[in-house]
Structure 1
Amino acid sequence: MPIRLKPTFADRLASADRPLVGVWAASASPLVAEIMAGSGADLVLVDGEHTPVGVDGLVPMLQAIEAYDATAIVRVPWNDAVVIKQMLDAGAQSLVVPMVSTQEEAVAAVQAMRYPPRGIRGIGSALARASRWTAVPDYVARAHELVALTVQVETAEGVANAAAIAAVEGVDAIFVGLADLAGSLGFPSADEVRAAVVSVIEAGLAAGTPVGVNAFAPADADHYLAAGASFVVVAADVTLLASSARAAVGRLLPTDDASGAY
């Protein structure tokens, strides 16, 4: 029986009547990914860049998210055609490619997402979960419609090239990474980082390309939404768990003495 895949992140953005809200799934746990998907968030970003999540661990996390309305987005570790192919074949429809700083790097990511003649993605869909083992009708011919690419701008060079990146056909959205951007800018003031982010949002608006921001601080999320961000990612499973555990335990523990010894 033919299988219909869920809408991609690009589809979700196109149909949204408000900014979308996302959360990270960074624990590499399908169970925790399911909890995050059930939070009411529009998006669950599975992080394969800074976590133990690899191709083997990705599939059960995608399966856990699948039952919920949330859209799964997978961040690959690098702008590498082989890794992108593997993540797509594992069934990830929507990818985030980190550290895209030039138009050429954005074009390379688009090429890696698409089968020939539109790109360079290797054709092995009959063996892959992506096509549900050929149960998705005409997968190879339609694959470019069934995947979505978000590129991550997180360097000073990327900010300077934001307009050119946003104009690349096949880039469905831009995601601004605050931590790496702050480092690339030399850790300036918070206002300077905010100004850089807003400049990327404005470049995206001018090009008609949605821009989102990783913004765990509520004031930051509000600021970027007011500037025109199309989505914000507001929390991560591991940070929520760590902070909640510390708070619960710390309430009942004695404080350090003046010497700093416990």
Structure 2
Amino acid sequence: MELRKNLFKQAIRQGQLQLGLWTQLGSAITSEILSGCGYDFIGLDAEHGPSEFMEIYAQLQACAAGGPSQPIVRIPNHDASLIKRYLDAGVNTLMVPQVDTAEQAQALVSAVRYPPHGVRGYCGAPRASGFGRIKNYATACDAEICLIVMPETRQALENIEAMAAIEGVDAFFIGPGDLAASLGYIGQPMHPEVIRVIEETGRRIQAAGKVAGILCTDDAQTRRYIDAGFKIVAIGSDQGLLLKGAEKLLATFR
């Protein structure tokens, strides 16, 4: 058994646009359905969604059964012991929120790598290694693990270039809600000043040689971000689709 290639990581390194959908409902059934819809990635949310570790585990299994979409797991914090568990469970694209400094980014790189290049604890037969069937997993996995950090504060914006210079940080995914709050516009991710800062930050990330990502549910603004060179773009969520679809259906008949 051979280690599966991370086609998402390959795609962003080649400058290919990756369109995805966020899933916040914590449902393995939903994840299985969505992973067969043709999106490049499905975002599994363990930060703001209800999913705990075992729910994410089940969603990873569902995505594997459902289709080719790459699961991206957003974890709740920087805890290296938690990162280890998600990696062992088979997560190979990890998104980490609230990364403000180069020191934090470097610590995250270390957390996803085995010694001597990092501090990830070793397990002989995790799901990630096909339960031990992938014999070279420990020596080959670094090439397939994709680390995405989230700059979401003023402090993070000040440190973009320093974080981008770190080998092992593959991409930046801007959190518009938290960034808006940090800029003084809480609850207003579509405020013109917030959009200006996001677009400027995207240019800085790209100038530093890294990939920029964003989640946006406004069609026109999403197209602007794509035109601005953002390559990891979440264009909606299961929760949003369910809410809007249910309300639209009812309005059709009432």
TM-score, shorter chain, exceeding 0.5? yes
Q: What residue in structure 1 maps to residue 171 of structure 2?
A: 173
Larger radius of gyration: 1
Q: How does 1:107-126 map to 2 (within 5 A)?
A: 107-124=106-123, 126=124
Kindly state the Cα deviation for residue 44 of structure 1 after the two structures are TM-superposed: 0.6
Describe how 1:178-189 pairs up with structure 2 within 5 A. Answer: 178-187=176-185
Structure 1: stretches of 5+ with no match in the other structure: 254-262
Aligned-partner residue type, residue 207 of structure 2: A
> Alpha-carbon deviations, 1:47-76, whole Å to 9, x = none?
110112122111221122124221111000
The residue aligned with 2:46 is: 48
**TM-score w.r.t. length of structure 2:** 0.93
Q: Quick check: 2:150–2:175 contact (8 Å CA) kept in 1?
A: yes
The question of 1:192 aligning with 2:196 is answered no
Distance in 2 between residues matched to 1:19 and 1:209, nearest whole Å: 13
Unaligned segments of structure 2, at least 5 residues: none
- Corresponding residue SS for 2:95: strand
Give the alignment's Cα RMSD to 1 decimal.
1.6
Identical counterparts, % of pairs = 35
Could you tell me the TM-score, scaled by structure 1's length?
A: 0.90
Which residue does the alignment assign to 1:155?
A: 153
Deviation beyond 2 Å, 4+ runs, structure 1: 246-253
Q: Confirm or deny: 8 A CA contact 2:19 2:232 kept in the other structure.
A: yes
1:141 matched residue in structure 2: 139
The number of residue pairs the alignment matches comes to: 250
5 Å-filtered alignment, 1:73-92, equals 73-92=72-91
Structure 2 counterpart of 1:234, one-letter code: I
Offset, 1:250: 4.4
* Cα drift, residue 8 of structure 1: 5.0
Question: Secondary structure at the residue paired with 1:153?
Answer: coil
- Partner SS, residue 233 of structure 1: strand
Residues 182, 193 of structure 1: 8 Å contact kept: yes
Of 28, 31, 52, 1:30 maps to 28
* Among 126, 129, 149, the residue aligned to 2:127: 129
Q: Distance in 1 between matches of 2:252 and 2:100?
A: 44
Q: Name the residue aligned to 2:224.
A: 223
Distance apart, 1:21 and its partner CA = 0.5
1:39 aligns with 2:37: yes
The alignment partner of 1:170 has SS state of: coil
- Is the CA contact 1:166–1:203 (under 8 Å) kept in the aligned structure 2? no
More deviation, 149-158/132-141:
132-141
| 2:17 aligned partner | 19
Question: Does structure 1 retain, via aligned residues, the 8 Å contact 2:20–2:232?
Answer: yes
The answer to whether the 8 Å contact 2:3/2:137 transfers is no
